[in-house]
């Protein structure tokens, strides 16, 4: 393992040494390993150091950097991207999107509670009654459900909306109310939402406006994998919110569910704070790393048998996550982008 790799997550080198791990510098490791595990995608410099034909797994998001894909192809590296993992029962223990969304959903509520100039819980005191904060969660997938659960634990009243009908029961089972909008469900493949038409989104925005205006806190988590996030909260809606209200946009990095959010920044518009989050799991590194490392370990168990990197291309998890292999691009959308010369 790279010396110091656990330090930022509070896992000390000594603990690894005690467990029998050899610690080396990154250059030595990259050039001498048959299989490499990373959190972030490898850089071009790192790819240049890797031995030809080796394997690498990371949170690669292949369509984001085509130069990197070209470099991986050229060096005949077998690269896997865990964000492409097919969502089947057998792959749940490897699902980094779920494990990191759990962290994000929880942290989003804490950020909102910290920013809100109000209590989350109901208080009945001699000095008066404080009503509970009203939280609206848009998108009730893994992060959204965790946000609902956390906001409920803090005593807020929670309403939530999702375009998938399956989310209704899950929202209700966490003690939140499901916002019913007169819109058709947008179920996609593998439990995901499908990409919505501009007409659908326009109608959704018309209907959701009064819910947004009534909320103290809005947490948006609506993403469409590999595509720009849909705009759910407009500037006009923000203008109708009460002074001191807070929006936490978990989709800020993929374009934003609120049209005013900026990734990594908190902007204030008309007394409303809009927190555009960026890599939220890294703000809770200990448990984010604990979960991510288990995801990676399970994946490694699948591609390495008896100490040898031997990916089985009959396995749908291997096929689904593989981006490059033996000098070819195996991921369809990335191949199309490369052939189209988009970048």
Catalytic residue check, 61: no
Query: Least distance (Å) from ligand NAD to the CB of residue 138?
Result: 5
Give Cβ neighbours of residue 297 (< 8 Å, ≥ 6 apart). Answer: none
Distances 20 to 15, 26, 37, 187 between C-alpha atoms, Å? 9, 18, 18, 47
DSSP 9: G
**H-type helices in the chain, by residue range?**
13-18, 26-32, 44-49, 66-74, 96-115, 142-153, 167-173, 198-214, 235-239, 285-303, 316-321, 332-340
Catalytic residue check, 106: no
Query: Least distance (Å) from ligand NAD to the CB of residue 293?
Result: 18
The whole-angstrom separation of Cα 50 and Cα 26 is 11
Which one from 58, 95, 100, 159 is the annotated catalytic residue?
95
Residue closest to ligand NAD when measured from CB atoms: 141
User: Which residues share a beta bridge with 268?
Assistant: 273
Residue 112 or 171: the one with the smaller Cβ distance to ligand NAD is: 171
Which one from 32, 92, 173, 197 is the annotated catalytic residue?
92
Residue 25 or 316: the one with the smaller Cβ distance to ligand NAD is: 316
Which one from 81, 91, 98, 245 is the annotated catalytic residue?
98
| 98 φ, ψ (degrees, to nearest 5) | -70, -45
Query: Tokens in use for 133?
Result: 């904060």
Catalytic residue check, 25: no
Q: Are strands 157-161 and 134-138 parallel, antiparallel or unpaired?
A: parallel
Residue 207 or 300: the one with the smaller Cβ distance to ligand NAD is: 207
Interacting residue ranges for ligand NAD, rule: CB under 6 A: 87-88, 91-92, 95, 97-98, 101, 138-144, 161-164, 167, 191-193, 196, 204, 221-225, 230, 232
Q: Are strands 272-276 and 265-269 parallel, antiparallel or unpaired?
A: antiparallel
The whole-angstrom separation of Cα 278 and Cα 228 is 15
Catalytic residue check, 87: yes
Which one from 87, 262, 294, 335 is the annotated catalytic residue?
87
The whole-angstrom separation of Cα 318 and Cα 297 is 14
Quick count: other Cβ atoms within 10 Å of Cβ 21? 13
Catalytic residue check, 40: no
Query: Least distance (Å) from ligand NAD to the CB of residue 261?
Result: 15
Query: Least distance (Å) from ligand NAD to the CB of residue 109?
Result: 16
Query: Least distance (Å) from ligand NAD to the CB of residue 204?
Result: 6
The whole-angstrom separation of Cα 328 and Cα 197 is 34
Helix (H) or strand (E) holding 174: none
Residue 192 or 309: the one with the smaller Cβ distance to ligand NAD is: 192
Give Cβ neighbours of residue 307 (< 8 Å, ≥ 6 apart). Answer: none
Residue 130 or 201: the one with the smaller Cβ distance to ligand NAD is: 201
State the catalytic residues: 87, 92, 95, 98, 192
């Amino acid at each position: 393992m790279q010396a110091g790799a656990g330090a930022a997550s509070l896992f000390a080198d000594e603990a690894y040494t005690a467990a029998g791990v050899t610690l080396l510098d990154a250059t030595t490791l990259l050039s001498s390993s048959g299989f490499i595990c990373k959190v972030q995608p490898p850089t071009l410099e790192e790819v240049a150091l890797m031995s030809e034909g080796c394997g690498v797994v990371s949170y690669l998001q292949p369509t984001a950097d085509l130069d990197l894909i070209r470099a991986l192809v050229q060096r005949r590296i077998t690269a896997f991207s865990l964000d492409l993992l097919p969502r089947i029962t057998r792959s749940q223990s490897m699902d980094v999107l779920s494990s990191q969304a759990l962290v994000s959903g929880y942290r989003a509520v804490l950020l909102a509670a910290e920013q809100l100039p109000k209590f989350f819980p109901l208080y009945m005191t001699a000095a008066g009654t404080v009503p509970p904060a009203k939280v609206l969660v848009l998108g009730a997938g893994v992060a959204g459900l965790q946000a609902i659960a956390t906001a409920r634990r803090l005593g807020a009243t929670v309403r939530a909306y999702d375009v998938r009908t399956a989310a209704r029961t899950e929202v209700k089972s966490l003690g939140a109310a499901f916002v019913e909008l007169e819109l058709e469900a947008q179920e996609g493949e593998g439990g995901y939402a499908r990409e919505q038409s501009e007409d659908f989104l326009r109608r959704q925005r018309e209907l959701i406006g009064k819910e947004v205006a009534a909320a103290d806190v809005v947490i948006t988590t609506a993403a469409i994998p590999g595509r720009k996030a849909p705009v759910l909260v407009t500037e006009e809606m923000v203008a109708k919110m009460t002074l001191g209200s807070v929006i936490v946009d978990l989709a800020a990095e993929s374009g934003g569910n609120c049209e005013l959010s900026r990734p990594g920044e908190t902007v204030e518009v008309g007394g409303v704070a809009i927190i555009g989050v960026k890599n939220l799991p890294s703000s809770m590194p200990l448990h984010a790393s604990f979960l991510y490392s288990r995801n990676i370990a399970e994946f490694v168990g699948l591609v390495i048998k008896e100490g040898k990197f031997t990916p089985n291309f009959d396995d749908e998890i291997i096929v689904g996550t593989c981006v490059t292999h033996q000098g070819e691009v195996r991921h369809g959308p990335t191949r199309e982008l490369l052939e189209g010369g988009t970048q």
